[in-house]
Each structure stands twice: as structure tokens, then as C-alpha cells.
Structure 1
Amino acid sequence: MAKHSIIPKAITEYDLRLLRIFRTVVENGGFSASEAELGVTRSTISVHMSNLESRMKLKLCSRGRGGFALTEDGQAVYHACIELFDSLNDFSLLVNGLGKELSGELILLCADQLDSTMQQKLAQVIQYLHIKEPQLHLILDGEAIHNIERALLQDKAHVGLLPSYQQIEGLSYQTIFSEPIYLCCSSNHPYFKLNDEEITPEMLAQSPSIHPGIDIDSEGREQLKKLNLSAKAYKFDTRKTLILSGCYIGYLPQSYIQAELESEQMRIIHSDSASYQFNLSMVFKKSPRETSKVELLKAAFEEVFHLKPTGNSR
């Protein structure tokens, strides 16, 4: 005889609460590890889990000396939970997007730490956003490039600031800033006190250097082919740290190392030949779920960076 869950077809708020607790327990790997996030004791969590199992008439997990583990049914319910709460979130975003007044979060992610110039520019963007839609909860954070691309495609972020190095299907790119990027070394490096004429291509090909960690454009790739790539750093700040060690040479924008150049902690090598163009792009999903929020961000960047509009802006 088939067994039936006693959870009613119309899922109650209590059911959702138990399922949220269940998801938290699974994602934290057990009851004890979930106490801090849930704000309740292990014994209380155990009661909630027992109630959920009773309501569903399913054994969802085993807990004991062997540790926490999901049953086969528990795995199925966990994956169903993910789909359920994603659907609820999608519904919430849809409803919020229908209103004339925007609400909720506005998420902007950056792939690199911001130099002083970019900080000032983004401060103006934020000021624009605050004047236009002060009720929005703004999130400005840094992330790895691939994480930003994934977040944009999954509608978990609205706009990303990325180096222009590839075009991902489903995303749109607009260059907001461009500057040369130069090969440089620190005052601790043997090349620091040499004239450019003394630093030969053969010497550069032998000296340990830094790969930027991403598949940069063709101009940059040609420059990297000339070097002995023996370290990797995805972000400007970590790359600068490697260069300041005196163990490596590497490429950085002049604006990012201007203070070190002026204090003679770093120098540029062969500025006329060992350089390529760095482009920073505003990136957004071509068909975002929250179109109004993306349009608001685009309008802010177009205003501050004097860009040509890419489409209808709020």
C-alpha cells in the first residue's frame, strides 16, 4: 500500500519553516553546526526535524555516532526544497518588479579592488542610485570573475564590473574605462636599477613573472608569451603584492601603482613596447529577471562615465 505524506496539499507556513530548518541542517552538515545560524539549540532542531519527518512520514536523515547523513528520501526532499525556495524567490522578484517603486536588493559586484579614481566614480554612481531610489538595499562587493558571471546569469546580481577578456553568451558588455597596463618590477628586483636598454628580451623571458589568471585579450596574450610565467594572481592587489616581493615582474595599470612609482618602490619596464590596453566593462544579463533594476544601474553608469546609452534606461 502506498504511503502518503500528511503535509496538506496547500503547504502551510509551518511546513515552510520546517523545510527551511531542514535545508539549513543539510547545508551545515548536522544539528550542532546549524545552531548558530538558526539561533536555537541542538535539541530544538532535533524536535523540528522529528516533526518534519512525522508530517512527511519519511526518514530524512540518520544522526548518531556515525554523524549526520541524509537518507535517499532525504536527498530527494533536499533537492525539492532548493527548487521550492528558488521558485518562491522568483515569485517575490517578479512581484517586486511589477510595482512602480523598486524594492529589495540592488547588487553590484566588482572583480578587482578599486583604486582611488574608481572609488570616486563608483561613489558618484551610488549617489545617483540613492537619489533615484533611496529605498533600495545596495550591495557592493568583490568577487572572482567566474563567480560574477555565474551570479549575473543566475539573476543573483544585477551588474558586474569585469576586465574585458571574453564574451559569455547571455551577457552584454559595455566598456566604461580603458587604460594601458604596463610591465613593472619593484625596487627589490634586480631590474629596478637597470636602464631599459640593459633589460633585453632574453632577460625578460628568463625572469619569473606573473600570469593574470584569466584568458586576456589577444594583445595581452602576445605580451605574456614573451615572459616566464611562474606565478598566478587574478586580482590587481594580489598581483602587486607578488611584484613588491621583488621575486617577480608583472603587468599592472599605471593608475593602480602611481603611489609606488612616485615613492620609487616600483618602476615600469619598456613602457613603449611592453604594454597592452586594459578595458573595464559594465556587464549585465541580456534578459534579466529584474529589468528595472538593471536599467537603473545602467543609467547611473552612463551618467557618471559619460557613456552612450545602450537601451531604454529608467
Structure 2
Amino acid sequence: MPVDTIDLRLLRIFGTIVEAGGFAAAQDELNLSLSTISGHIAALETRLGVKLCHRGRSGFRLTDDGRQVYEEARRLLASVEHFDGRVRGLKRALSGALTIGLTDNTISDPNAPLETVFAGFAREAPSVLLTVVTRPPHELLRDVVAGEIHLAVASFPRIALGLSYLDLYVETQRFYCGAEHPLYGVPDAEIDVETVRRHPIVGRAYWGQRDLKIFAIGGPRAVVSDMESEARLILSGAYLGYLPDHYAARFVAEARLRPIRSDLFAYPAPFQAAFLPDRERQRVVATFLGHLRRVFPAAGPEPAGAPSPRRRLAP
């Protein structure tokens, strides 16, 4: 006999009656009247073609067929529940791939606990293949727009139209010179913009002239594409340039670098997560964004409805 949904419902009612010890005892749990319960059992007996139980003044008692049906029903319903649970688990499970883009040399920043984000995401989505790529900020923007990566975290040199930005934290950039540089021993009180302009300055390719605006110079005397290269040039004593304060801290502690006029040259660099708005509708991306929001208070709460682009922090 093929089993359909009605049969499963009737078998559940029958099982509840057996376990309660009778029709009247099962009323509260089933929330059904005695006549309705009796009708359901009669329908099940007709469907199966066997008498399941005796009921009446002598009380409730299973027949031999009824006991066998009850045992088989228990096994069948347990299998159905197991199947339902597995299917629900498959629907909830996250799978597929996620590619995250990062800029280099942020691991020493105490304001950037991205490892906590990755740990939470890995616990929630253990089956997802996570790929992390490290590139300069302008290349990350390009790849997000092109759809090559799902989401990028960096301090971006410009606003790319059509992207959503999630505020995360702020990194402080300071202007440094090396221990071998002529300005290393000069007090800050004797250094101004004109003083700095007389010395070669390092520029970052991905920032354009952003670092150099205050100095009003035509261009840098050296150009780099990553933080380590800039640090090496500044440490050489031949150039001045910007570095994140957390990155430069160890060299400052070793007296190999010193910041110059932080009151004048330092500036905040906002870090954000950039992504195409449609990406937030993908469960894997939405899950990662959820962990970013939980770890970084500046990101704000998860949106109640459809995601909408946030305004980018002013540089």
C-alpha cells in the first residue's frame, strides 16, 4: 500500500493515542474531540484493512495487528523525521565559494581584527571554499566591479560608482623619516611644509597625489605599490613618506624611524568593505558581511530588508 501524507498524519494520531493510553487521554495532546479521534482511527483501519484496537467500556486495548502497526509506524515516522531534518540542514548549510580581497600589512593594526571575522565565518560556513587575495586598493576596486572577487576590505583611494561601502575602522597615517635622514634629529618645531618640500618624498601608486597634496609638489621622487617597499625607502634615509602608525611602530621603537609633525601631516584613512549591492543577496556574502558587522561596531546592524549602499567615509 503506497503511503501518502494523510496516512502519515493518521499514523501520528494513532501513535499518540497508544502512547497516551487511550482516546480520552490523548485528547489534550491532539487537541481533538473524542468523535474526531474515533473517526480518524476508523479511517486508518479502513485504509490499512485491519482492526487496530478495542475501545469502549472495557477500555483501550491494542489488537495484535495494532501492536505491529504501531511498531512499524514508529520506525516509519522516525525515518521521516530524520529525512526532514537532513533536508532542512541541507537548506540551511552554506556551500560554494567566497573570494575576499585585502590590502597588505594590516595584521599589526589592533583596530583590524579580521581574524575574528574569518574564525566566525569558518564556524558558520565550514563547507565554503574561502579564497583570500592581497592586492593594492585600486586593483581591489577594479576586481570587485568586474565581479572577480565578492568583497574587498581596504582604504580606497576613490569612490567607485555602483558599489556599496560598509564602514569598518580608521587607520592613522603619519609622515616618517629614517634615522639616517637629515631631518631625523631636527625638532618638530623647526619643520614645516617648506622644510619637507626640499627633500625627496615617496608616493604610493594607488593613491595618486593624495599623500602629497599638502606639500604642493609636482610629483614624488619615488613611487611604490606596497607598504613594505615604502618602509624600505624611508628606512634608507633617502626619502620621506607616509606609513600606518601600527606598521611603523616597531621601527619607531627601535629608533629607526620617527614621525614628523603629526599635528600637521597625520591623517585618518577609513577602511571599508566594498561590494556590489547584488552580492548581499547571496547567502555566503551576506553571512560574511554579518560577521563583519558583529566585529566592527562602525558597520552598524544588519539591514532589516534589502541592502542599500552606504555613503563612503570622507577621506
TM over 0.5: yes
Of 135, 154, 171 in structure 2, the residue corresponding to residue 143 of structure 1 is: 135
Q: Distance in 2 between matches of 1:238 and 1:312?
A: 43
Q: Residue 187 of structure 1 aligns with which residue?
A: 179
Change (3 A) 1:167 1:255: same
Structure 2 counterpart of 1:278, which letter? A
Q: Residue 56 of structure 2 aligns with which residue?
A: none
Q: Deviations 1:105-138 (Å, cap 9, x if unpaired)?
A: 2111112222323697111011110111111111
Structure 1 counterpart of 2:240, which letter? I
Change (3 A) 1:204 1:277: same
Structure 2 counterpart of 1:123, which letter? E
Q: Residue 99 of structure 2 aligns with which residue?
A: 107
Note the residue ranges of structure 2 that are not aligned, 5 or more in a row. Answer: 1-89, 308-315
- Residues 65-76 of structure 1 mapped to structure 2, 5 A cutoff: none
Give yes or no for the alignment of 1:245 onto 2:248: no
Give yes or no for the alignment of 1:302 onto 2:293: yes
Contact 1:206 1:228 in 2 (8 A): no
Give yes or no for the alignment of 1:254 onto 2:242: no
Give yes or no for the alignment of 1:131 onto 2:123: yes
Give yes or no for the alignment of 1:235 onto 2:223: no
Q: Distance in 1 between matches of 2:304 and 2:127?
A: 22
- Residues 1-314 of structure 1 mapped to structure 2, 5 A cutoff: 100-117=92-109, 121-215=113-207, 220=211, 222-225=213-216, 229-288=220-279, 291-306=282-297, 307-309=299-301, 311-312=303-304
Q: Distance in 1 between matches of 2:222 and 2:245?
A: 21
Structure 2 counterpart of 1:263, which letter? E
Q: Distance in 2 between matches of 1:164 and 1:150?
A: 11
- Give the RMSD, CA atoms, in angstroms: 2.7
Change (3 A) 1:210 1:297: same
Q: Distance in 1 between matches of 2:219 and 2:141?
A: 29
1:100 deviation in Å? Answer: 4.1
Please, what TM-score do these two structures have when normalized by structure 2?
Answer: 0.62
Q: Which has the larger radius of gyration?
A: 2
Contact 2:111 2:169 in 1 (8 A): no
Q: Distance in 2 between matches of 1:112 and 1:229?
A: 21
1:168 deviation in Å? Answer: 0.5
1:145 deviation in Å? Answer: 2.6
Q: Distance in 1 between matches of 2:173 and 2:224?
A: 15
Change (3 A) 1:209 1:288: same
Q: Which moved more, 1:285-294 or 1:180-189?
A: 285-294
| Structure 2 SS opposite 1:259 | helix
Identity %: 23
Structure 1 counterpart of 2:159, which letter? Q
Q: Distance in 2 between matches of 1:233 and 1:118?
A: 25
Contact 1:214 1:234 in 2 (8 A): yes
1:210 deviation in Å? Answer: 1.0
Please, what TM-score do these two structures have when normalized by structure 1?
Answer: 0.62
Contact 1:163 1:280 in 2 (8 A): yes
Q: Distance in 2 between matches of 1:228 and 1:120?
A: 31
| Structure 1 SS opposite 2:174 | strand
Q: Residue 65 of structure 1 aligns with which residue?
A: none
Note the residue ranges of structure 1 that are not aligned, 5 or more in a row. Answer: 1-97
Q: Distance in 2 between matches of 1:108 and 1:128?
A: 15
Change (3 A) 1:195 1:107: same
1:208 deviation in Å? Answer: 0.2
Q: Deviations 1:151-197 (Å, cap 9, x if unpaired)?
A: 21232211101213211012111221113211111111111111112
Q: Distance in 2 between matches of 1:107 and 1:221?
A: 33
